[in-house]
């Protein structure tokens, strides 16, 4: 399921967040034990997931959000409409700064969905999480 894009079919934010929760079961987090899952929807309705993958050399760890983006890009998708993020402790979690920058590259107008507990879904614009962002437009000036 996770290596192939799925079709969105009018997926709600809660359904997308639940996919992120399902995905986090595959996270590789033996050092922090902080598992994260992400599920995203591209502008054409394909759904991809990602999990955090830690490494004994901590700097080589990759976050779930970037793994989901890389899965989408590897399948030929370049625009993301929204992403949901969930973590193993059940609290609301947000993309780190590096992930916010990568998300901006593929969806500056995207919505970021978070989940707390089993049902509390919140959504934020990426622009509110990454104000004054740097993007392709800045390279044209």
Residue 54 a catalytic site member: no
pTM: predicted TM-score of the whole model, two decimal places: 0.91
What string of pLDDT tens digits covers the 141 residues of the chain?
344 455 556 799 999 999 999 999 999 999 999 999 999 999 999 999 999 999 999 999 999 999 999 999 999 999 999 999 999 999 999 999 999 999 999 999 999 999 998 889 999 999 999 999 998 888 986
Say which of 65, 92, 105, 119 is annotated catalytic: 65
pLDDT digits (tens, 9 = 90+) for 21-51: 999 999 999 999 999 999 999 999 999 999 9
The domains of the chain, with CATH numbers, are 6-139 (3.40.140.10)
3-state secondary structure 50-108: EECECCCCHHHCECHHHHHHHHHHHCCCCCEEEEEEEECCCCCCCCCHHHHHHHHHHCC
Classify residue 2 by its DSSP letter: T
């Amino acid at each position: 399921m996770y290596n192939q894009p799925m079709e969105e079919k009018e997926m709600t934010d809660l359904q997308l967040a639940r996919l992120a929760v399902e995905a986090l079961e595959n996270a590789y987090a033996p050092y922090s034990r902080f598992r994260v899952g992400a599920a995203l929807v591209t502008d054409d309705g394909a759904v991809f997931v990602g999990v955090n993958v830690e490494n004994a050399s901590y700097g080589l760890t990759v976050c779930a959000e970037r793994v989901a983006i890389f899965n989408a890009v590897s399948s030929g998708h370049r625009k993301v409409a929204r992403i949901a993020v969930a973590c193993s402790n059940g609290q609301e979690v947000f993309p780190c700064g590096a992930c916010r920058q990568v998300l901006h590259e593929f969806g500056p107008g995207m919505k970021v969905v978070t989940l707390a507990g089993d049902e509390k879904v919140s959504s934020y614009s990426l622009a509110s999480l990454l104000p004054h962002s740097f993007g392709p437009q800045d390279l044209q000036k």
